[in-house]
Amino acid sequence: MPKTRSLKTVSLSFVLLLAATAAPKAQVTIDVSKVSCEQFALYKVASPETLAIWVHGYYSGKRGNTLVDVEALKANMKKLRDYCVQNPEVPLLDAVDTLVKD
């Protein structure tokens, strides 16, 4: 019995020690309406892939479209990145609006 209690105590202590030393993860919030093309293209706020997926979902939701064409998403992200490299001062959502109209 004392051996079992000792093992439980050591195990519990180990778990508590791990929980206490685990680094907290930072939560990052991004206002996409304020992201510039430069920030998008140069990975300054998040990966371009992450932002492109969010933008795709945002515009798809506005149109009631629930389908995702993965290949088209990749192609559109490349077009957006290329546009942003050439127009770094343009807000990201304005760049998307320009490309959607074309």
Give pLDDT, residue 28.
81
pLDDT at 53: 94
Name the strand (E) or helix (H) holding 51: helix 48-63
CA distance 82 to 102: 14
For domain 32-101, say whether CATH 1.10.890 is its number: yes
How far apart CA 94 and CA 75 sit, in angstroms, is 18
The full set of domain ranges for the chain reads: 32-101
What span, in angstroms and rounded, lies between the C-alpha atoms of 50 and 54? 6
At 14 the pLDDT is: 59
Q: pLDDT per residue over 37-87, tens digit each?
A: 999 999 999 999 999 999 999 999 999 999 999 999 999 999 999 999 999
